[in-house]
Every structure is written in structure tokens, then in C-alpha cells.
């Protein structure tokens, strides 16, 4: 004897008592008018989504690759080897008294962090088109997640540096305590530029072709393969207009502690990053109104 019956639904206690209208959240939808506030409070409400997106990017990054997370080590290590051979050995580029491999690797670490974060974040909005056209959430979550997901690769690559420093017998000084600040500066630099590029990328896909080229040029404009001491003293604050100059020299100073502290240059770099970042945040917020229509 068979009896089919309709599904019985458990009533969710939270929903069962309909809250009075006064207690309900109110969503006001108004036409978008130019510049708007950053609404960082809402961003904070969506912090779990941010963590989930970062977690997704990390989880998915090396799926279906043969070498997996080894990629995070291979890229900076090979760059370091090539740099040491051609710039260190053959071209005899000075390295401020630090063994050239350590000199180069100290710079390649923040550089790779920056370059990957920039590539990820500037492509992030377009890559998450489906989310943007189907679900509401603060759009800023997307480029921020793109930037932060690169930190895991950075941590993996960092382990090689410890090995290198042991190999060359370099003992870090107290300055290593300042390293997190320089990591933060590298992240913020990538985010500042990434915000502009990701918003521009929605309307102008030219950005896609620009980023690779830009990173390449930027590498040579930054003291990765050479020390900033090659730049005349009085021009150094100007050199700091490239925020990565401050980041890279800051890394060397924090890790090895032999080079002089990048004072004026660093100050200029920080100022530039903050300007770019605040401008980028507002620009992104202004452009995000049209993302779903244009993407």
C-alpha cells in the first residue's frame, strides 16, 4: 500500500514571527548621482564574503596543475637565478654589499606579490562578471579579494628566502619587525593601481593588454635588479614617486639591514600610494553604478 504525500515543511523559527516593519532593514533605491561615499561600513558587513572569495581564489589557483603550489616558488627562484647570472655575474651590477642572490630575491618577493596582485585585481571585476550581473554586494570586495589572495604565494616564496639567508649567513636585525609594514605597502600599491585599472577594464578592455606591458616597464623602473643607490642622491625622493621603489628598498632594509633606511624616498612613496588609493576608491565607487550595464 503506497501513500504519497506532500512535503511537510519545517517552519524556520526566525522567519515564523514576521518582524514588525519598523525593525526591518530598509533598502532605498535611488538613481545614481555621480560621486558617492565609500560606504566602508557596508564593506565591513560583507567581510565574510571577502574571506570566502579570497579562500576560493587560493583554493582554485593551483587546481589541475601538475606542479601545484610549487609555482609560487619557481617563478621568483628562476627570476633570481637569471638575474644573479646576468646582472650579478656578467654585468657586475652593484648590490650594496649584499650577496647578489639575496639582494635580488629580497626585491623579487615584494615585486612578485605586487605584480600578481595587480594582474589579479585589474582583471577581477571583468572575471567576476557573472557575480556582478546577478547578485548585489559591495563591488569593492572583488578587487580587494584579488589583491589579498596573492599573500599565500608570497608566504610560500618567503620560505625560500629563509633558506637563502641561512646559506649566506645573513642574520636579520631588529629592522625585520618593520617588514609587515612594507608588505602592507606593496598590497596597498597593487590595490591602488588595481582599483583604477579594474574599473577602467569594465569599459575599456584595452586594460587587459596594458597590464602585462605596464608591469614589465615598471619592473625596470623599480630597484629590483639594481640598487636605488645608483640613482643620484638628490633625485631619490623623485624616484620615490614610483611607490615600488620605496617598497623594494624597504624590504631590503628590513630583511638584511645593511642598506641605509629609505627615508625621504619612502615618505614620497607612501604619499603617492595614499593619493592613488583614495582616488582609486572614489573612482571605483563612481564607476560601479554602471558595471552591470556595461560589462
Partner 1 sequence: MSDLAIRCEGVAKQYRIGQRESYRSLRDTVTHGVTAPFRRVRAALQGGNGRPANGTPTIWALEDISFEVRQGEVLGIIGRNGAGKSTLLKILSRITWPTRGSADIYGRVGSLLEVGTGFHPELTGRENVYLNGAILGMRKSEIARKFDEIVAFSEVEKFIDTPVKHFSSGMYVRLAFSVAAHLNAHVLLVDEVLAVGDARFWSKCMNKVRSLNQQGVTILLVTHSMWQVQTACRRAICLEHGKIRYDGKPTDAIGYYEGLLKTTDGQEDPVLASAPDQAGMASAGAESIVDFRVQPLGEWSPEGKPLSDSGMRIAFAAKLQPRSEVKLLIRVTSPTGLPYFSALSDPVHADSNGSIHCESCIQKLMLMPGQYLLFAALCSVEDSRNMLTAESIPFEVEGPGCTNEALFWNQVDWKIRDAMETGGRA
Binding interface with partner 1 (CB under 8 A): 1-7, 9-12, 14-16, 18-22, 24-32, 48-49, 52, 56, 59-60, 63-64, 130-137, 202-206, 289, 292-295
* Cα–Cα nearest to 229, from 98, 113, 77: 98
31/37 with CB nearer partner 1: 31
133/173 with CB nearer partner 1: 133
Under 8 Å CB-to-CB from 88, ≥6 apart: which residues? 95, 100, 101, 103, 104
Q: How many CB atoms lie within 10 A of CB 61?
A: 18
Minimum distance from residue 125 beta carbon to partner 1 (Å): 12
16/171 with CB nearer partner 1: 16
21/90 with CB nearer partner 1: 21
Backbone angles phi, psi at 210, to 5 degrees: -75, -40
Q: How many CB atoms lie within 10 A of CB 48?
A: 8
Minimum distance from residue 68 beta carbon to partner 1 (Å): 13
Minimum distance from residue 56 beta carbon to partner 1 (Å): 6
Minimum distance from residue 290 beta carbon to partner 1 (Å): 8
Minimum distance from residue 54 beta carbon to partner 1 (Å): 11
44/235 with CB nearer partner 1: 44
The beta strands (E) that lie in 103-225 are given as none
Q: Are 157 and 109 within 8 A, CB to CB?
A: yes
Minimum distance from residue 214 beta carbon to partner 1 (Å): 14
Minimum distance from residue 291 beta carbon to partner 1 (Å): 9
| Grid-cell match 588595481, residue found | 194
16/90 with CB nearer partner 1: 16
28/66 with CB nearer partner 1: 28
| Grid-cell match 587587459, residue found | 208
Separation between Cα atoms, residue 105 and residue 108, nearest integer Å: 5
Q: Are 192 and 276 within 8 A, CB to CB?
A: yes
* Cα–Cα nearest to 250, from 94, 155, 113, 89: 113
Separation between Cα atoms, residue 20 and residue 15, nearest integer Å: 12
Amino acid at each position: 500500500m503506497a501513500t504519497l504525500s506532500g512535503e511537510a515543511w519545517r517552519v524556520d523559527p526566525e522567519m515564523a514571527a514576521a518582524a514588525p516593519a519598523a525593525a526591518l532593514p530598509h533598502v532605498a533605491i535611488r538613481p545614481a548621482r555621480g560621486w558617492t561615499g565609500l560606504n566602508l561600513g557596508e564593506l565591513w558587513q560583507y567581510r565574510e564574503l571577502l574571506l570566502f572569495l579570497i579562500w576560493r581564489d587560493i583554493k582554485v589557483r593551483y587546481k589541475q596543475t601538475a606542479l601545484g603550489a610549487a609555482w609560487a616558488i619557481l617563478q621568483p627562484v628562476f627570476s633570481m637565478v637569471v638575474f644573479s647570472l646576468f646582472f650579478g655575474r656578467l654585468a657586475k651590477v652593484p648590490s650594496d654589499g649584499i650577496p647578489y642572490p639575496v639582494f635580488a630575491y629580497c626585491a623579487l618577493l615584494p615585486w612578485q606579490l605586487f605584480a600578481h596582485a595587480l594582474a589579479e585585481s585589474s582583471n577581477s571585476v571583468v572575471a567576476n562578471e557573472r557575480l556582478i550581473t546577478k547578485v548585489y554586494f559591495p563591488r569593492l570586495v572583488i578587487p580587494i579579494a584579488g589583491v589579498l589572495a596573492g599573500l599565500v604565494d608570497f608566504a610560500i616564496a618567503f620560505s625560500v628566502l629563509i633558506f637563502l639567508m641561512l646559506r649566506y649567513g645573513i642574520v636579520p636585525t631588529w629592522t625585520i619587525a618593520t617588514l609587515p609594514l612594507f608588505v602592507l605597502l606593496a598590497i596597498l600599491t597593487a590595490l591602488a593601481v588595481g582599483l583604477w585599472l579594474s574599473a577602467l577594464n569594465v569599459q575599456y578592455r584595452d586594460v587587459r593588454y596594458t597590464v602585462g606591458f605596464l608591469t614589465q616597464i615598471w619592473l625596470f623602473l623599480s630597484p629590483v635588479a639594481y640598487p636605488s643607490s645608483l640613482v643620484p642622491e638628490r633625485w631619490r625622493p623623485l624616484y620615490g614617486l614610483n611607490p615600488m621603489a620605496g617598497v623594494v628598498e624597504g624590504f631590503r632594509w628590513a630583511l638584511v639591514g645593511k642598506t641605509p633606511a629609505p627615508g625621504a624616498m619612502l615618505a614620497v612613496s607612501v604619499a603617492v600610494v595614499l593619493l592613488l588609493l583614495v582616488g582609486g576608491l572614489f573612482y571605483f565607487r563612481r564607476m560601479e553604478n554602471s558595471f552591470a550595464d556595461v560589462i
